[in-house]
Amino acid sequence: MLDIQPKPTGLIPPHGGRLINRVATGPEREHLLEHAQTLPALELTPRSLADLECIATGVYSPLVGFMGEADYQSVVADMRLANGLPWSIPVTLPAPESFAKTLRLDAEITLTWKDRPLAVLTVTDIYRPDKSEEARQVYRTDDPAHPGVAALFASGPVYLGGPIWLVNPIPHKNFLRYRLTPAETRAEFARRGWRTVVAFQTRNPIHRAHEYLQKVALEMVDGLFVNPLVGATKADDVPAEVRMRTYEVILSKYYPADRVLLGVFPAAMRYAGPREAILHAIARKNYGCTHFIVGRDHAGVGDYYGTYDAQKIFDAFTPEELGITPLKFEHAFYCKACGQMATTKTCPHDKEARVHLSGTKVREMLRRGEMPPPEFTRPEVAEILIRAYRDALGTSHGEA
């Protein structure tokens, strides 16, 4: 089966030099789909489902499947694949012991979601990870209160590695117009004549500090790719459906339409802080981006990581081997004395002049129906969030 490459566009090369496409088509798909009905089936978790999509569509190029043991061990210990290519997060397929012990090497299995066949995997590796070591290396903690660590420890004790072929589409029902593959974003960047593109990762609504970082970056490049993560997140994160409405309204009112593209990032959130920042950068390189915004506590949670650890980790790689340029920004705020957005690099005033609201305080205001100050967030965004909080409170109190 051919892994067909898109035509050259003059954009940045994918990670490893080749954009992966593991989506079966035509007669080969029909054959594999029929074959899948005869194979042992492993039901995917939400995280494994997201990883499958990222592998199949090239978001995780150069991976062609779930990691075997050699790549896994190398990534955990050294943040590199076994061939030396930078890679920071293990992309593995956990399985129950009872299922794994029925398999042999080179066996084929079907990966399912809600009992529907999605992919066929050829098993090249069956191995038992040291999850405590994986947690300490990848998450910098083995504290089960960390959401990424909790998900790791809750997953199956055996990992299966091997290449995959997607035989049915991932069953999405939302954000369909924004579900762009790397091949599609690269084609759109080329159509717009963009050669330099900055990516912005977010799992939160865009507030004024985010807007400031994006627009500073946009002064330096041809285009901005706003790429919010819509895979699995923590229960207390703002739901993706609400966040997407905020992105649509702020981009339509405050950004030049011909210089911004909105597309969703299907990965699951791991909250791995610095290591996840590297993975997020590599994925955006595969989408065709040349630059990547890394702000305060990127992909962090709680107080597990230092404020700017996610920026410092990029120093572990040379610019040539990583291939995408991180734009490292200080925490931004509105300064009442300056009368504009600023950071500590540009503002001489003390904290009393700065408008800074914690996430907890903002959520409390929204629950009370209070509008956060416009120096913190655009009124259009605040209105969407207030309505969402009211609806959530109404639902929790039994309202229709």
Which residues are catalytically annotated?
Answer: 203-204
How far apart are the C-alpha atoms of 267 and 202, rounded to whole Å?
12
Q: Are 163 and 64 in contact (CB under 8 A)?
A: yes
Task: Name the residue type at position 225.
Answer: F
Whether 302 and 337 have beta carbons less than 8 Å apart is answered as no
Q: How far is CA 36 from CA 64, 110, 120, 164, 167, in A?
A: 18, 6, 6, 12, 9
Six-digit token string for 231: 């895979």
